[in-house]
């Protein structure tokens, strides 16, 4: 099959509950700014979706420095959800994002269920928003992560946000739990249109000469290629436990990575840490994706999702 034929016969469209994406390659929250920063490097219209930096109800100054530390095959971050708050986002960033010809998934984080619900309700009236991603898994702040580790709280939060908001709801889950399958089921039962997994893994770095932690917050979130095996395992386990579509995240940097996540059970992916060291990776992957899908004898993404032979 020629490259030209491949591009015309492979359908990259994916359906994540009520959310339709033109293709399965998205960029992850916290690694792509508010997209404006990347417009000179990436053709934003080619992306399946953009997830801007997580926003909170009020302004957050974030954690004390250092906030990032490079590690073997990855990085630790402890940004602490530094942002100007939802009102500033709607006023200053949303108009630009609304102009982009791709799906806009807004990531929100709250300390309480009421905060999550209030933000979801506020964004429900914004036509430019394609979906809401509930960040219930950030390891660098207090409060919100509880919703990602307690199944009952997770289910109630997702259900409340879905009731308050007309947009599709995605639940971003943490790997820092005993059973990712249990959390996936609880989010699905709450009505999540899709599950985003995983967020970062807890880790730390130490300067042994000073006998001090290198991160101001002591513990941070590990991301990058180092966590890909953990993310693959989580996606596979979650896909075995629920039929709710899954967005794979964690160490994805190449076409092979993307295809592995599809076979493991993900219907779409988000590229994260790679945006820092190879910002055009998403474009390279999109160029090669149709041929890789065709190589497996498939004509659309869904045909290869969850086809792992065990």
Catalytic residue among 138, 154, 161, 165: 138
Per-residue model confidence (pLDDT) at position 2: 42
> Is 161 among the catalytic positions?
no
The rounded distance, in Å, linking the Cα atoms of 46 and 60 is 32
Per-residue model confidence (pLDDT) at position 1: 39
State the pLDDT confidence band at 287, using cuts at 50, 70 and 90: very high
Tens digits of per-residue pLDDT, 93-103? Answer: 999 999 999 99
Q: Flag whether 210 is in a domain.
A: no
Q: Flag whether 268 is in a domain.
A: yes
State the pLDDT confidence band at 5, using cuts at 50, 70 and 90: very low
Per-residue model confidence (pLDDT) at position 306: 98
Token duo for residue 169: 């709801």
Within 152-302, strands assigned E span: 169-172, 194-197, 201-204, 206-207, 212-213, 219-223, 246-249, 268-271
Rg (CA), the chain: 18
Count of Cβ atoms closer than 10 Å to residue 125 Cβ: 11
What's the CATH number where 291 sits?
3.20.20.70
Domain that holds residue 231: 3-64+81-205+226-303
State the pLDDT confidence band at 141, using cuts at 50, 70 and 90: confident
Range 94-113 average pLDDT: 97
Three-point CA angle 143, 177, 261, nearest 5°: 115
Per-residue model confidence (pLDDT) at position 126: 98
Of 279, 256, 278, 280, the closest CA to residue 269 belongs to 256
Q: Flag whether 216 is in a domain.
A: no
Q: Flag whether 221 is in a domain.
A: no
Tens digits of per-residue pLDDT, 207-258? Answer: 999 999 999 999 999 999 999 999 999 999 999 999 999 999 999 999 999 9
The rounded distance, in Å, linking the Cα atoms of 151 and 180 is 10
Within the chain, strands assigned E span: 14-16, 19-21, 25-27, 49-50, 68-71, 74-77, 103-108, 131-135, 169-172, 194-197, 201-204, 206-207, 212-213, 219-223, 246-249, 268-271
Q: What is the domain count for the chain?
A: 1
Tens digits of per-residue pLDDT, 290-304? Answer: 999 999 999 999 999
State the pLDDT confidence band at 146, using cuts at 50, 70 and 90: confident
Of 43, 101, 81, the closest CA to residue 285 belongs to 43
User: Which residues fall within 8 angstroms of residue 144, CB to CB, at 6 or more apart?
Assistant: 109, 110, 111, 116, 135, 136, 138
Residue 105 near residue 49, CB atoms below 8 Å:
yes
In three-state secondary structure terms, 253 is coil
Q: Flag whether 153 is in a domain.
A: yes
Q: Flag whether 128 is in a domain.
A: yes
Token duo for residue 133: 């991603």
Could you tell me how far CA 208 lies from the centroid of its own chain? 33
Per-residue model confidence (pLDDT) at position 138: 83
Q: Flag whether 51 is in a domain.
A: yes
Count of Cβ atoms closer than 10 Å to residue 144 Cβ: 24
Q: Flag whether 19 is in a domain.
A: yes
């Amino acid at each position: 099959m020629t490259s030209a034929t491949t591009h015309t016969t492979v359908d990259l469209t994916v359906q994540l509950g009520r959310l339709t994406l033109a293709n399965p390659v998205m960029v992850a929250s916290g690694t792509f700014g508010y997209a404006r920063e990347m417009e000179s490097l990436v053709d934003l219209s080619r992306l399946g979706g953009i997830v801007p930096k997580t926003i909170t109800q009020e302004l957050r100054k974030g954690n004390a420095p250092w906030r990032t530390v490079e590690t073997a095959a990855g990085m630790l971050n402890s940004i602490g959800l530094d942002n100007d708050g939802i009102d500033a986002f709607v006023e200053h960033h949303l108009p630009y994002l609304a102009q982009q010809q791709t799906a806009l998934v807004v990531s929100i984080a709250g300390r309480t269920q009421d905060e999550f619900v209030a933000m979801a309700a506020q964004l429900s009236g914004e036509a430019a928003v394609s979906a809401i991603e509930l960040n219930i898994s950030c390891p660098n702040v207090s409060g919100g992560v509880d919703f990602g580790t307690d199944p009952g709280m997770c289910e109630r939060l997702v259900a409340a946000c879905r009731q308050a908001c007309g947009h599709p709801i995605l639940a971003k889950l943490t790997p820092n739990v005993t059973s990712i399958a249990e959390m996936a089921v609880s989010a699905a039962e709450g009505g999540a249109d899709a599950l985003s997994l995983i967020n970062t893994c807890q880790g730390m770095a130490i300067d042994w000469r000073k006998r001090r932690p290198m991160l101001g917050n002591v513990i941070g979130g590990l991301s990058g290629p180092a966590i890909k095996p953990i993310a693959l395992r989580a996606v596979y386990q979650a896909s075995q436990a629920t039929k709710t579509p899954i967005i794979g995240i964690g160490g994805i940097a190449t076409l092979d990575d993307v295809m592995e996540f599809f076979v493991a059970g993900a219907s779409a992916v988000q590229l994260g840490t790679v945006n820092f060291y190879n910002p055009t990776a998403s474009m390279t992957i999109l160029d090669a994706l149709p041929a890789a899908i065709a190589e497996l004898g498939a004509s659309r993404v869904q045909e290869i999702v969850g086809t792992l032979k065990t």
